């Protein structure tokens, strides 16, 4: 079968495509010594100028973490992680605000340029005075190695009553909100990586949408991993009060490097009555070289709770990067009639490994959830969908629909599906279906016969395969996501 | 860091088993009694057997045997092997007219608890070698257990040589509180066919831990169906390997669970050669506080191109307290394959009930009709009509 051989060849070519956005910025850093102990936790808390309750909370998490074991159930393999061989704190040195872009560290600007951030927005990010005149419908909270360098559009948001700021700032300025909600969705002792994050997180985003407010713009955070050997521990907390609505975008690119980097973020979402939170992610961290060396280890805990009746939480993710992805954005449906959604595309290539999926915990009557997971494996990669749907005894008339499709490109990769279905209510309905196949020869032939190159044909088919998920992304991201799919499968899957 | 044990090492059950096994208990001591932290047992807790020192069962009294036999749906003719508390009851048995050979070595299936327990305490069961090209027709295997805090561990080895065929009707029943832990080591030769129809109706306080391994050769067929109907806790576990091209496997079943009982159907279908096909349909009906478990894994090796795998499992919940835990799993390393699975969980359809009621069918009968309709496409997979009728009769009783 020539087509199969060609696919194999193109996949091999693909292994040679290098990481397009691999670059490193040289910025002065304030770095904590390597190692993790109570002193590290105290140091982080002190440097962030945190109150005592926050330090106590971190220490509680740290002590819980010491008692925990690293989970081994995921379908991933990696050399043991030495948690003592990393810096847990890195902060760009503070300078007074520059007067114009000319005064801004050129390295920082280069990074923004490569990320495709428009000039006026760059000025905002770099903290140029008076730059807030230029308004865009997207607010960006740039997390530049753990510390938000600048947060834009604060004023517009403040007028609407929306709080969107680095979580470190929220801890200082809105302690009552942070204290009330932090750790209520992902408790400090929830899991190994979550506990680690709770102990040493350096920054992240905090979003608070007051009652009845529809957030006037899409909120967005660019995550970048920058300093060598600094594990990134982001903490995000989003609260939507009654009838509030927000759409949050998270996007990632990272510089090329040769040492494995640990990333263990925690994201907590809380939706009250009739509130709606849409959380979209495009993840494109450095996946490692052809041999799988040097990529990011991404162990993320993402969970949202629909506390109020008729609330809705929707997760959409496009995962193309990282050497290892361990990530299960989940929804706890506690409010009557609340809705949980999970749309995911996971692409693995070369030696990437992804073990990702979701949990839908139905606690209340008439709750509904939808899971659409698309997995594409190429090269020597392994990709697993792992999901749980649980109907608790009170989940009367709850509904779930799950669809998992896997596409294999090449005969050296693996695609796995591990759904858990648990029902304790007779009126609840759960439907699950999963398929695994390769790109159909018929479809390829059809496209080729219409004059498309193999690369374009595969690209077209893959985009079609992922369409159900991509259409859930906000416009800004949908474009970027399609581009990422192309880069990820470059060479064969255009 | 404190490490919690994931297997219980010092339970009375395990200690008694190891003592009984004398020299053969090392592997069992190592595997231990799985807790719910062991992935394969997360839905099927073995707590109910952990605190009892299970002893070897005494021979069965003939009145007990007769009472149990009278209660079972059995075919009127054909070869029959009857075991009582782990011993062959020769007076009641009519062996197949094939060579009985010295017991072959049973493969250990390392790490699988039910198999390890059986290896430690194994008692001699069937040792069948069906010669090449022979159609041995039907063999009814009846395994009876009775007693209090006793356990039996029959070991059956069944080899079908090239082109041979056999229908095995495997009936399990008993009274009292016991553990029945049968092990089947099956080899299906080239072009051979084994139909394995199992009826599990152990005592309602009994525990059934069956483990079947079947290796299927080129164009061979292992066609199994399990009706899980009894036992306080019952697991039927099948590990089937498609060893050579064009092998074909069916691991079908129906589970009917009521009271406080738990029935479990766990399977691993391993495609280790190209062009194999596997089909699995499992239906579970749950009432009262019954718990159903389905764990089905399809593993496709890199060499197993052109594999065609299909798995469907459905559960029907008829009461507020019933519970189903289902884990269909695909692990696939070959790209040119067609594998899919589906799972549904739900209650009877109100509209269908209403339809029947509006035609004058009483509620109870209407529900019965719908439950039977739910099960029919699984039961229809039992090709042997006479045996299918026996299973249907068993379900009705």
Least confident of A229-243, A255-269, B12-26: A255-269
Locate B158 and state its tokens.
Answer: 């069944």
Q: Do B326 and A67 touch (CB under 8 A)?
A: no
Assess whether pLDDT exceeds 60 at residue A128.
no
- Per-residue pLDDT at A474: 78
Pick A69's closest partner by Cβ from B3, B323, B341. B3
pLDDT band, very low/low/confident/very high, at A1 (cuts 50, 70, 90): very low
Query: Given an 8 Å threshold on Cβ–Cβ distance, is B318 in contact with A73?
Result: no
pLDDT value, residue A255: 47
Please determine, for residue A216, whether its predicted confidence score (pLDDT) is greater than 90: no
Q: How high is the mean pLDDT of chain B? A: 93
pLDDT on residue B263: 97
Q: How far is residue B329's CA from residue B340's CA, in Å, rounded to a whole number?
A: 10
Chain A (338-397) residues lying within 8 Å, Cβ to Cβ, of chain B: 391, 393
User: What pTM was computed for the model?
Assistant: 0.85
Q: Which residues numbered 217-276 in A keep a CB inside 8 Å of some CB on B?
A: none
Check B332 against A437: CB less than 8 A apart.
no
Stated as kind and residue range, the H or E segment containing B396 is: helix B385-396
How confident is residue A439, by pLDDT bands cut at 50, 70 and 90?
A: confident
Q: Would you place residue B61 in the very low, low, confident or very high pLDDT band (cuts 50, 70, 90)?
A: very high
Give residue B325's pLDDT: 96
Q: Measure B283 CA to nearest chain A CA, in Å.
A: 14
**Burial of residue A450, with CB atoms counted within 10 A of its CB: 0-12 exposed, 13-18 middle, 19 or more buried:** exposed
Contact B343 A4 (CB under 8 A): no
| Residues of chain B contacting A66 with CB distance shorter than 8 Å | 1
What's the burial of A242, exposed, middle or buried (CB within 10 Å: 0-12/13-18/19+)?
middle
Range from A69-83, A139-153, B318-332 carrying the lowest mean pLDDT: A139-153
ipTM of the predicted structure? Answer: 0.87
State the angle between helix axes of A192-200 and A38-47 in degrees (0 to 180), rounded to the nearest 10.
50
| Binary contact (A411, B302; C-beta < 8 A) | yes
Distance from CA of A290 to the nearest CA of B (A): 20
Q: Mind telling me how many Å the CA of B97 is from chain A's nearest CA?
A: 45
Q: Does A115 touch chain B (CB under 8 A)?
A: no
> Whole-angstrom Cα distance, residue A159 to residue B67?
83
Does A428 touch chain B if contact means CB atoms closer than 8 Å? yes
Mean pLDDT of B32-39: 89
Q: Give me the mean pLDDT over the A70-83 stretch.
A: 85
Give A322→chain B minimum CA distance, Å: 21
> Given this model, what pLDDT does residue A71 score?
86
- By the CB < 8 Å criterion, does B351 face chain A? no
Within 146-165 of A, beta carbons closer than 8 Å to B belong to none
The distance of B258 to chain A (nearest Cα, Å) reads 14
Q: Give the residue from A423, A435, A440, A444 with the most B CB atoms within 10 Å of its CB, the best one to mutate.
A: A423
Please check whether residue B164 is in contact with residue B191, taking contact to mean a CB–CB distance below 8 angstroms: no
Instruction: Give the number of other CB atoms < 10 A from CB of residue B19.
Output: 10
**CA A57, A60, A66, A68 torsion: positive or negative?**
negative
Chain B CB contacts of A434 under 8 Å are: 328, 330, 340-342
Closest-CA distance of chain B to residue A451, Å = 25
pLDDT, one tens digit per residue, over A106-124 is 665 665 565 555 555 555 5
Confidence of residue B37 (pLDDT cuts 50, 70, 90): confident
User: Which residues on chain B are in Cβ contact (under 8 Å) with A414?
Assistant: 331-333
Chain A residue at shortest CA distance from B303: A411
Are A147 and A166 contacting, i.e. CB atoms less than 8 angstroms apart?
Answer: yes
Tokens for A316? 């959409």
As a three-state string, the secondary structure of chain A is CHHHHHHHHHHHHHHHCCCCCCCCCCCCEEECCECCCHHHHHHHHHHCCCCHHHHHHHHHHHHHHHCCCCCCCCCCCCCCCCCCCCECCEEECCCCCCCCHHHCCHHHHHHHHHHCCCHHHHHHHCCCCCHHHCCCCEEEEEEECCEEEEECCHHHHHHHCCEEEEHHHHHHHCHHHHHHHCCCCCCCCCCHHHHHHHHHCCECEEEEECCCCECCCEEEEEEECCCCCECECEEEEEEECCCCEEEEEEEEECCCCCCCEEECCEEEEEECCCCEEEEEEEEECCCCCCCCCCCEEEEEEEEEEECCCCCEEEEEEEECCCCEEEECCEEEECCCCCEEEEEEEEEECCCCEEEECCEEEECCCCCEEEEEEEEEEECCCEEEEEEEEEECCCCCCCEEEEEEEEEEECCCCEEEEEEEEEECCCCCEEEEEEEEEECCHHHHHHHHHCCCCHHHHHHHHHHHHHHHHHCCCCHHHHHHHHHHHHHHCCCCCC
Q: Is B2 on the interface with A (CB under 8 A)?
A: yes
A190 Cβ partners below 8 Å, 6+ apart?
A301
């Amino acid at each position: 079968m020539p087509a199969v051989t060609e696919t194999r060849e193109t996949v091999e070519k693909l292994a040679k495509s290098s990481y397009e956005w691999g670059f490193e910025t040289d910025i002065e850093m304030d770095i904590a010594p390597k190692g993790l102990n109570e002193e590290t936790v105290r140091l982080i808390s002190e440097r962030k100028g945190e109150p005592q309750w926050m330090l106590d909370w971190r220490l509680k998490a740290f002590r819980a973490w010491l008692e925990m074991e690293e989970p081994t159930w995921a379908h991933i393999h990696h050399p043991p992680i030495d948690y003592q061989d990393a810096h847990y704190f890195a902060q760009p040195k503070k300078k007074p605000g520059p007067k114009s872009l000319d005064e801004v560290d050129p390295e920082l600007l280069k990074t923004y340029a490569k990320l495709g951030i428009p000039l006026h927005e760059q000025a905002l990010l770099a903290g140029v005075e008076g730059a807030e005149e230029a308004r865009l419908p997207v607010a960006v909270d740039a997390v530049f190695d753990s510390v938000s360098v600048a947060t834009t559009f604060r004023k517009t948001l403040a007028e609407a009553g929306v709080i969107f700021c680095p979580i470190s700032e929220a801890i200082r300025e809105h302690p009552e909100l942070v204290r009330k909600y932090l750790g209520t969705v992902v408790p400090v002792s929830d899991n190994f990586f979550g506990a680690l994050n709770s102990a040493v997180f350096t920054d992240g985003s905090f979003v608070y949408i007051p009652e009845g407010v529809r957030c006037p713009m899409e909120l967005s955070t660019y995550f970048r991993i920058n300093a060598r050997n600094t594990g990134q521990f982001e903490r995000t907390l989003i609260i939507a009060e009654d009838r509030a609505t927000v759409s949050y975008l998270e996007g990632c690119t990272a510089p090329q490097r040769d040492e494995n980097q640990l990333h263990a973020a925690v994201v907590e979402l809380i939706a009250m009555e009739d509130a709606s939170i849409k959380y979209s992610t495009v993840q494109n961290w450095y996946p490692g070289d052809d041999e799988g060396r040097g990529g990011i280890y991404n162990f993320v805990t993402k969970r949202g709770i629909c506390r109020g009746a008729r609330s809705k939480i929707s997760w959409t993710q496009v995962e193309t990067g990282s050497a290892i992805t361990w990530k299960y954005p989940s929804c706890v449906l506690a409010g009557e009639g609340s809705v949980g959604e999970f749309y995911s595309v996971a692409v693995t290539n070369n030696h990437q490994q992804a073990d990702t999926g979701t949990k839908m915990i139905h606690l209340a009557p008439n709750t509904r959830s939808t899971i659409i997971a698309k997995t594409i494996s190429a090269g020597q990669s392994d990709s697993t969908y792992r999901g749980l749907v649980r109907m608790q005894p009170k989940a009367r008339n709850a509904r779930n629909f799950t669809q998992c499709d896997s596409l294999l490109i090449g005969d050296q990769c693996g695609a796995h599906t591990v759904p858990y279905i648990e029902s304790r209510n007779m009126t609840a309905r759960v439907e699950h279906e999963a398929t695994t196949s390769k790109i159909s020869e018929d479809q390829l032939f059809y496209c080729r016969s219409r004059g498309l190159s193999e690369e374009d044909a595969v690209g077209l088919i893959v985009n079609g395969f992922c369409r159900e998920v991509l259409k859930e992304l906000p416009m800004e991201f949908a474009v970027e996501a399609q581009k990422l799919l192309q880069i990820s499968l470059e060479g064969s899957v255009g | 860091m404190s490490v919690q044990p994931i297997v219980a090492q010092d339970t009375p059950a395990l200690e008694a088993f190891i003592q009984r096994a004398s020299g053969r208990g090392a592997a069992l001591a190592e595997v231990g009694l799985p807790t719910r932290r062991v992935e394969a047992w997360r839905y099927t807790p073995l707590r109910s057997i952990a605190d009892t020192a299970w002893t070897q069962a005494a021979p069965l009294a003939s009145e007990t045997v007769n009472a149990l036999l009278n209660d079972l749906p059995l075919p009127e003719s054909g070869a029959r092997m009857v075991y009582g508390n782990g011993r062959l009851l020769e007076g009641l048995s009519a062996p197949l007219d094939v060579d009985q050979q010295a017991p072959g070595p049973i493969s250990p299936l390392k790490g699988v608890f039910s198999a390890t327990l059986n290896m430690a305490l194994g008692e001699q069961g069937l040792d069948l070698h069906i010669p090449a090209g022979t159609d041995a027709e039907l063999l009814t295997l009846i395994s009876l257990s009775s007693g209090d805090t006793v356990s039996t561990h029959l070991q059956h080895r069944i080899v079908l040589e090239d082109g041979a065929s056999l229908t095995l009707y495997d009936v399990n029943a008993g009274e009292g509180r016991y553990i029945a832990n049968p092990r089947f080591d099956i080899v299906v030769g080239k072009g051979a066919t084994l139909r394995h129809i199992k009826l599990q109706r152990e005592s309602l306080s009994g525990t059934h831990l069956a483990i079947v391994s079947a290796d299927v050769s080129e164009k061979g067929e292992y066609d199994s169906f399990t009706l899980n109907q009894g036992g306080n806790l019952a697991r039927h576990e099948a590990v089937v390997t498609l060893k050579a091209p064009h092998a074909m496997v069916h691991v079908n079943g129906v589970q009917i669970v009521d009271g406080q009982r738990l029935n479990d159907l766990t399977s691993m279908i391993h495609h280790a050669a190209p062009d194999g096909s596997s089909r699995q349909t499992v239906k579970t009906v749950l009432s009262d506080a019954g718990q159903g478990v389905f764990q089905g894994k399809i593993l496709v090796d890199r060499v197993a191109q052109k594999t065609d795998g299909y798995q469907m499992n459905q559960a029907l919940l008829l009461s507020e307290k019933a519970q189903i835990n289902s884990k269909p799993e695909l692990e696939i390393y070959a790209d040119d394959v067609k594998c899919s699975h589906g799972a549904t969980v739900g209650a009877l359809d109100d509209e269908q009930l209403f339809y029947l009621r509006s035609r004058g069918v009483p509620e109870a009968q209407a529900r019965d009709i719908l439950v039977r309709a739910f099960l029919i496409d699984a039961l229809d997979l039992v090709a042997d009509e006479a045996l299918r009728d026996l299973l249907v009769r068993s379900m009705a009783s």
